[in-house]
């Protein structure tokens, strides 16, 4: 700081004088750098994915050709047909969809209910529950994974949808997001609803929820994405091939077709494309949700 | 399930405004009763969340702690209390021959991994955010593009990079263009862990970029303008104005990155399964193996407690280093 200000005092006049001349050259040089970096990072960000999408239409020999071809010499659809012909592949897609959809719906309902109670109602224990919510967000998965499995095992829920859905149906980070959004709403909302004789449930459902739609969308999307991409928990609690979710199925599909990269690339698309589509539609919520769950936490 | 709390609250309240107001007044006077009711309503709203919180988070964490004091192999023998023996066993390995202990090998691996990935992802995320901040046309589009690696699932990217890291894959082809003979990335003990580091930096930098972008947009514009009026160049402004103001965000990114990296599992399991020669064995993978392959659930729980303590201590040290003022408060 000190350096800057002494330099600055000495430089005040020259800068004033040079101002009309310097910016143009300076800005164009700076912008050139910015756009070079933009180009580089664009290639590194979407290059692998775009190359994979294109290559998933290549034949087995071409997908490993050296030097690699960019555009397939021959577009082949059979990779996708072969992947889908695997006896359980469609079932894996269905399984992961059930997991992600159920987790999403339940988590949106339950965490918004909890968020409502924690932000809008007065009751003993409120602060403790909120503090505990903050604290458990810090507990790493490493600590909970094994005991969580043992509980599921004791409940005889191993290899069921419930094993996947139960722990995911109300998540602290979602409750936290809901509290953050709801506590800022004006108190008059409930007062007028109460004067009109609305029950607490109706106040919540018809007055509060419509006010926090962006938060609901963000929670819904993040939960869906989390379950859709989840690998470790399904690996731990699912046992039979027909119950696998898609990421887990892909793991075993990969082991079975170890050298057939054309099939592996095609199979990975089933995991990637749905989330990408969601992302392009709801990208604002993806990004805002990610920020609000992290920055304020 | 979802309609459960309806009846409990003020269900009998009539819809008329005047009467409603009367009820409200009565309600305000009879405070204790109303508080009781509100408490009941609140807990009904909270019930499903409290169930998950108590069972799958609090109880589970305590259970894990207790489990580490037992010898548990589900299905074979009954759990046996062994005190601190699981810990003792792990620390004996550390002090006698850590090079033979899979757990401590995995710890060394993950320390290297955390240092490289956290530094890499933080710097890359900051660069990405600064580049976006400096972009005038198409900032939104580039933000979307840069964010894509963060959206793609770890399993899908693992599959994609298995192919790219292949000895005849794209990465070695690009290296051959500058006359470098690329290694067999994932099958070479020297290069397997760095391969996973690069992949992780690639996926996580994109998500942390968003934090920096949000923080950069909140920086007081006057301060930045003042510094450039004072004749500071871009680098000086960055070094003396931007970085100090970003300290809280840098800490957040470093802390979240550290916590995430310490628990790296997906790629290690999916791409290399800990190999070659245990060079990509991570603590999470070793915990998983100890529990689900060797049926040493108690030992695995002890490993996770040690891992948790290490994560916790490292995070606190980071806070001291990055935000000295905040930790003195």
Structurally, chain B folds into a number of domains equal to: 1
**B91 in a structural domain:** no
Question: Contact B270/A139, CB-based, under 8 Å?
Answer: no
How would residue A10 be classed by pLDDT, with cut points 50, 70 and 90?
Answer: very low
pLDDT at position B182 over 90: no
B268 is in which domain, residue-wise?
98-328
Using CB atoms, pick whichever of B57, B154, B202 lies closest to residue A144: B57
Least confident of A25-39, A123-137, B175-189, B259-273: A25-39
Determine contact, residues A247/A229, Cβ cutoff 8 Å. yes
What pLDDT, on the 0 to 100 scale, is given for residue A53? Answer: 93
* Mean pLDDT, rounded, for A232-256: 94
The total number of residues shown for chain B amounts to: 329
Q: Chain A residue closest to B299 (CA)?
A: A146
**B201 in a structural domain:** yes
Q: Distance from A209 to chain B by nearest Cα, in Å?
A: 14
How would residue A16 be classed by pLDDT, with cut points 50, 70 and 90?
Answer: very low
Contacts of A42 in chain B (CB under 8 A): 142, 145-146
The helix/strand/coil state of B81 is strand
Mean pLDDT of chain A: 86
* Mean pLDDT, rounded, for B231-243: 83
pLDDT at position A268 over 90: yes
Domain with CATH 1.10.3720.10 in chain A: 82-295
pLDDT at position B253 over 90: yes
Q: Chain B residue closest to A148 (CA)?
A: B60
What pLDDT, on the 0 to 100 scale, is given for residue A5? Answer: 41
Determine contact, residues A83/A263, Cβ cutoff 8 Å. yes
**B121 in a structural domain:** yes
**B93 in a structural domain:** no
What pLDDT, on the 0 to 100 scale, is given for residue B34? Answer: 61
**B132 in a structural domain:** yes
What pLDDT, on the 0 to 100 scale, is given for residue B7? Answer: 38
pLDDT tens sequence across A106-121: 999 999 999 999 999 9
How would residue A87 be classed by pLDDT, with cut points 50, 70 and 90?
Answer: confident
Contacts of A283 in chain B (CB under 8 A): 144, 147
Work out the percent of chain B whose per-residue pLDDT is above 90.
59
* Mean pLDDT, rounded, for B91-111: 91
How would residue A83 be classed by pLDDT, with cut points 50, 70 and 90?
Answer: very high
Q: Is the pLDDT higher at A192 or at B185?
A: B185
Work out the percent of chain B whose per-residue pLDDT is above 70.
88
Query: Which residues 6+ apart lie within 8 Å of B6 measured at CB?
Result: A199, A201, A202
B273 touches chain A (CB under 8 A): no
**B17 in a structural domain:** no
Kindly give the residue spans of alpha helices, DSSP state H, lying in chain A. 2-18, 22-55, 60-63, 78-85, 89-120, 126-136, 141-154, 161-165, 172-182, 188-195, 200-202, 213-229, 232-237, 246-256, 261-295
Residue owning tokens 């009904």? B44
Q: Chain A residue closest to B132 (CA)?
A: A38
pLDDT at position B59 over 90: yes
What phi and psi, each to the nearest 5 degrees, are found at residue B80?
Answer: -125, 130
Q: Distance from A103 to chain B by nearest Cα, in Å?
A: 13
B67 touches chain A (CB under 8 A): yes
How would residue B17 be classed by pLDDT, with cut points 50, 70 and 90?
Answer: low
Contacts of B284 in chain A (CB under 8 A): 141-142, 145, 232
Chain B 307-326, residues with CB within 8 Å of chain A CB atoms: 307-308, 311
B178 touches chain A (CB under 8 A): no
**B67 in a structural domain:** no
Least confident of A225-239, A241-255, B24-38, B277-291: B24-38
How would residue A297 be classed by pLDDT, with cut points 50, 70 and 90?
Answer: very low
Q: Distance from B194 to chain A by nearest Cα, in Å?
A: 18
Contacts of A49 in chain B (CB under 8 A): 148-149, 152, 160
Determine contact, residues B171/B164, Cβ cutoff 8 Å. yes
Q: Is the pLDDT higher at B74 or at A78?
A: A78
Query: Which residues 6+ apart lie within 8 Å of B173 measured at CB?
Result: A66, A67, A68
| Residue B273, phi-psi category: left (phi > 0), alpha (psi -120 to 50), beta (remainder) | left
**B3 in a structural domain:** no
What pLDDT, on the 0 to 100 scale, is given for residue B272? Answer: 93
pLDDT at position B119 over 50: yes
What pLDDT, on the 0 to 100 scale, is given for residue A3? Answer: 40
Contacts of B236 in chain A (CB under 8 A): 3-4
d(CA A158, CA B292): 13
Mean pLDDT of chain B: 86
Question: Contact B53/A111, CB-based, under 8 Å?
Answer: no
Q: Chain A residue closest to B242 (CA)?
A: A1
Q: Chain A residue closest to B18 (CA)?
A: A195
d(CA B49, CA B13): 28
pLDDT at position B218 over 90: no
Rounded to two decimals, the pTM is 0.85
Question: Contact B259/A276, CB-based, under 8 Å?
Answer: no
Domain CATH number, residue B156? 1.10.3720.10
* Mean pLDDT, rounded, for B148-162: 91
Q: Topology of domain A82-295, per CATH?
A: MetI-like fold (1.10.3720)
Question: Contact A46/B145, CB-based, under 8 Å?
Answer: yes
Chosen from A17, A47, A48 to mutate, greatest number of chain B CBs within 10 A: A48
pLDDT at position B122 over 70: yes
What value, to the nearest 5°, has the Cα angle with vertex B56 and ends B55 and B60?
85
* Mean pLDDT, rounded, for B249-266: 93
| Residue A124, phi-psi category: left (phi > 0), alpha (psi -120 to 50), beta (remainder) | beta
What value, to the nearest 5°, has the Cα angle with vertex B47 and ends B43 and B49?
120
């Amino acid at each position: 700081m000190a350096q800057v200000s002494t330099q600055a005092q000495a430089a005040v006049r020259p800068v004033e004088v040079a101002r009309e001349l310097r910016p143009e050259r300076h800005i164009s040089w700076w912008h050139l750098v910015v756009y070079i970096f933009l180009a580089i990072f664009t290639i590194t960000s979407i290059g692998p994915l775009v190359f994979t999408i294109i290559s998933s239409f290549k034949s087995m020999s071409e997908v490993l050709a050296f030097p690699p071809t960019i555009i397939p010499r021959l577009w082949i659809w059979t990779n996708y047909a072969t992947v889908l012909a695997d006896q359980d592949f469609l079932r894996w897609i269905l399984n992961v969809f059930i997991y992600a959809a159920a987790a999403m719906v339940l988590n949106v309902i339950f965490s918004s209910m909890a968020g409502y109670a924690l932000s809008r109602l007065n009751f003993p224990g409120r602060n403790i529950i909120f503090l505990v919510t903050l604290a458990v967000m810090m507990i790493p998965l490493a600590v909970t994974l094994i005991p969580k499995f043992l509980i599921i095992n004791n409940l005889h829920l191993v290899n069921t949808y419930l094993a996947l859905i139960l722990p995911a149906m109300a998540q602290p980070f979602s409750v936290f997001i809901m509290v953050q959004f709801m506590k800022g709403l004006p108190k008059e909302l409930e007062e007028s609803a109460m004067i009109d004789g609305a029950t607490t449930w109706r106040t919540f459902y018809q007055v509060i929820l419509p006010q926090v739609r962006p938060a609901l969308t963000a929670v819904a999307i993040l939960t869906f994405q989390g379950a859709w991409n989840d690998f470790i928990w399904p690996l731990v609690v699912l046992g039979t091939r027909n119950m696998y979710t898609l990421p887990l199925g892909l793991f075993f599909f990969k082991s079975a077709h170890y050298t057939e990269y054309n099939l592996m690339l095609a199979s990975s698309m089933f995991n990637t494309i749905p989330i990408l589509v969601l992302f392009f539609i709801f990208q604002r919520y993806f990004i805002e949700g990610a920020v609000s769950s992290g920055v304020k936490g | 399930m979802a309609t459960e709390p309806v009846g409990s609250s003020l269900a009998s309240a009539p819809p008329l405004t005047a009467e409603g107001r009367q009820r409200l007044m009565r309600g305000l006077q009879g405070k204790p009763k109303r508080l009781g009711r509100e408490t009941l309503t609140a807990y009904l709203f909270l019930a499903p969340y409290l169930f998950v919180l108590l069972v799958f988070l609090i109880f589970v964490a305590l259970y894990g702690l207790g489990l580490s004091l037992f010898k548990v192999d589900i299905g074979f023998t009954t759990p046996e209390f062994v005190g601190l023996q699981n810990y003792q066993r792990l620390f004996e390995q550390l002090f006698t021959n850590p090079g033979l202990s899979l757990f401590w090998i995995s710890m060394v691996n993950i320390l290297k991994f955390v240092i490289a990935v956290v530094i890499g992802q933080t710097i890359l995320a900051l660069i990405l955010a600064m580049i976006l901040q400096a972009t005038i046309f198409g900032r939104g589009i580039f933000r979307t593009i840069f964010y894509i690696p963060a959206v793609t699932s770890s399993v899908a990217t693992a599959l994609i990079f298995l192919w790219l890291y292949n000895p005849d894959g794209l990465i070695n082809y690009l290296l051959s263009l500058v006359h470098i003979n690329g290694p067999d990335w994932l099958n070479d003990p020297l290069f397997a862990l760095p391969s996973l580091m690069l992949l992780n930096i690639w996926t996580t930098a994109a998500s942390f970029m968003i934090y920096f972008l949000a923080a950069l947009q909140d920086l007081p514009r006057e301060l930045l303008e003042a510094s450039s009026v004072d004749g500071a160049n871009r680098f000086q402004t960055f070094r003396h104005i931007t970085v100090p103001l970003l300290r809280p965000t840098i800490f957040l990114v470093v802390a979240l990155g550290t916590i995430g990296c310490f628990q790296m599992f997906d790629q290690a399991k999916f791409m290399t399964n800990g190999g070659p020669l245990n060079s990509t064995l991570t603590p999470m993978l070793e915990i998983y193996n100890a529990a689900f392959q060797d049926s040493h659930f108690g030992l695995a729980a002890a490993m996770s407690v040690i891992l948790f303590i290490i994560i916790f201590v490292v995070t606190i040290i980071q806070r001291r280093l990055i935000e000295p003022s905040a930790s003195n408060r």
